[in-house]
């Protein structure tokens, strides 16, 4: 998929070199686009003041606003292994990071850039590549894995069983967490994100269905406010 001015998104089939209009009108000038497998959608950042981040359903090409930012002229979007989003803004000449569910304010993580364009996050090395249209350079910025950051110190106490899993898993939250959770996702070893259904919501123990996940190794991540917890598990 490629965004093309003005305000349209085109779908290209490389197998036979054909194309068609996928979204006729986004209401905002689309720029960088990233595929979000867990929601079967495109995540599209836009140009202009108070730039919007759009969600575009692949099922019917409908457009929704995921977030309206205070940034201007966003020209690139990427995602790390914990599901957090990165956007490059010409207005700020910076890269900002946004929570997986688009809650909260964007956090500036890289500044002093020169018209940062389309960006890419290497999941194997936790490195963000940022081309700069203003001076024809590429900046590489390394980020510590989520489990190593101080604000996520509670990650080690998230528990999953049975592990390996086949059908259902129970996720035990940290002892300081109470009540319902609203934001969780599963990340495969290749960085692909999945959404698994919550079947039972007890106080500290939640039951999820993983029966539709392909066999492999995953990270289960829970975000609540400024707190994040994770645990690895295998699926047979």
Q: How many domains does the chain have?
A: 2
What is the extent of the structural domain holding 225?
Answer: 147-235
- 8 and 110 in a common domain: yes
- 201 and 164 in a common domain: yes
Q: Give the per-residue pLDDT at 149.
A: 39
- 8 and 100 in a common domain: yes
* Cα gap 167→231, rounded to integer Å: 17
* Cα gap 52→68, rounded to integer Å: 4
- 79 and 25 in a common domain: yes
- 120 and 189 in a common domain: no
* CATH number of the domain where residue 76 is located: 2.120.10.30
Phi, psi of 63 (to 5 degrees): -115, 135
**Lookup: tokens for 47:** 């140009």
* CATH number of the domain where residue 186 is located: 2.60.40
- 114 and 206 in a common domain: no
Q: Give the C-alpha distances (Å, rounded to integers) separating 226 from 25, 86, 141, 150, 151.
A: 35, 17, 23, 12, 8
Asked which of 110, 143, 176 is the last residue of a domain, the reply is 143
Q: Give the per-residue pLDDT at 234.
A: 87
Average pLDDT over residues 132-136: 94
Q: Give the per-residue pLDDT at 144.
A: 66
* Cα gap 132→154, rounded to integer Å: 36
Asked which of 120, 143, 166 is the last residue of a domain, the reply is 143
Q: 147 falls in which pLDDT band (50, 70, 90)?
A: very low
- 227 and 128 in a common domain: no
- 173 and 58 in a common domain: no
SS (H, E, C) 18-85: EEEEEECCCCCCEEEEEEEHHHCEEEEEECCCCCEEEEEECCCCCEEEEEECCCCCEEEEEECCCCCE
- 20 and 124 in a common domain: yes
Asked which of 98, 128, 143 is the last residue of a domain, the reply is 143
Q: 146 falls in which pLDDT band (50, 70, 90)?
A: low
pTM of the model: 0.62
The answer to which of 88-97, 136-145, 225-234 has the lowest mean pLDDT is 225-234
Q: What confidence tens digit (pLDDT) does each residue in 151-207 have?
A: 333 343 578 899 899 999 999 887 777 666 778 888 887 778 888 999 988 877 899
CB contact at 8 A, 131 and 115? no
């Amino acid at each position: 998929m490629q965004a093309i001015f003005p305000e349209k998104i085109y779908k290209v089939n490389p197998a036979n070199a054909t194309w068609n209009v996928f979204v006729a009108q986004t209401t905002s000038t689309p720029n960088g686009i990233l595929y979000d497998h867990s929601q079967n959608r495109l995540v599209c950042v836009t140009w202009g003041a108070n730039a919007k981040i759009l969600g575009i359903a692949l099922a019917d090409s409908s457009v929704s606003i995921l977030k309206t930012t205070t940034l201007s002229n966003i020209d690139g979007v990427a995602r790390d292994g914990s599901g957090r989003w990165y956007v490059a803004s010409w207005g700020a000449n910076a890269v900002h990071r946004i929570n997986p569910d688009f809650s909260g304010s964007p956090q500036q993580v890289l500044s002093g850039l020169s018209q940062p364009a389309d960006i890419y996050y290497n999941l194997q090395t936790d490195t963000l590549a940022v081309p700069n249209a203003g001076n024809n350079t590429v900046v590489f910025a390394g980020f510590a894995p989520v489990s190593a950051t101080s604000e996520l110190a509670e990650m080690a106490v998230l528990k999953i069983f049975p592990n390996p899993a086949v059908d259902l898993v129970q996720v035990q939250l940290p002892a300081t967490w109470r009540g319902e959770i609203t934001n969780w996702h599963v990340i495969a070893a290749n960085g692909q994100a999945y959404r698994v259904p919550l079947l039972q919501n007890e106080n500290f123990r939640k039951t999820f269905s993983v029966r539709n996940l392909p066999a492999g190794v995953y990270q289960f991540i829970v975000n609540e406010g400024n707190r994040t917890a994770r645990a690895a598990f295998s699926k047979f």
